[in-house]
Amino acid sequence: MIGLDVTGHTVEKLEDPFGLLSGERYEFFLELEVDEEDELYSEKGIGLRVLLGIEANESKILNYHFFEKGNDTVLDFALEDEEEEQVLQYCMEHIPA
């Protein structure tokens, strides 16, 4: 387990100008603190981009990827089930009013 420690975030509600998608979509950029011993560690810092969908009182992560800050290089890592649940819970607690 990576042991995600979210230190900050930005969030934006995504608008669907054509009305093709049902529900709401939010894009989160989570700032993560990663232990130096972890294979995900980078001196530049690590972020997690999360696309969250909410429809009919059901919320789920539609897509996500880790990236290295500074150059936005996408990193090929996956969240474990427990981590994905932790990220979903964090995002749900920080949806703008």
Question: Which of 30-34, 36-40, 60-64, 84-88 is least confident?
Answer: 36-40
With H, G, I as helix, E, B as strand and everything else as coil, classify residue 97.
Answer: coil
Please name the amino acid found at residue 81. D
pLDDT, one tens digit per residue, over 47-73 is 999 999 999 889 999 999 999 999 989
Strands of 24-32's sheet in order across: 6-14, 24-32, 46-55, 58-68, 73-75
Instruction: Tell me what pLDDT residue 1 has.
Output: 40
| Cβ-contact 19, 10 below 8 angstroms | no
What's the mean pLDDT in 32-41?
90
H/E stretch holding 82 reads helix 81-93
Global confidence as pTM: 0.90
Instruction: Tell me what pLDDT residue 20 has.
Output: 87
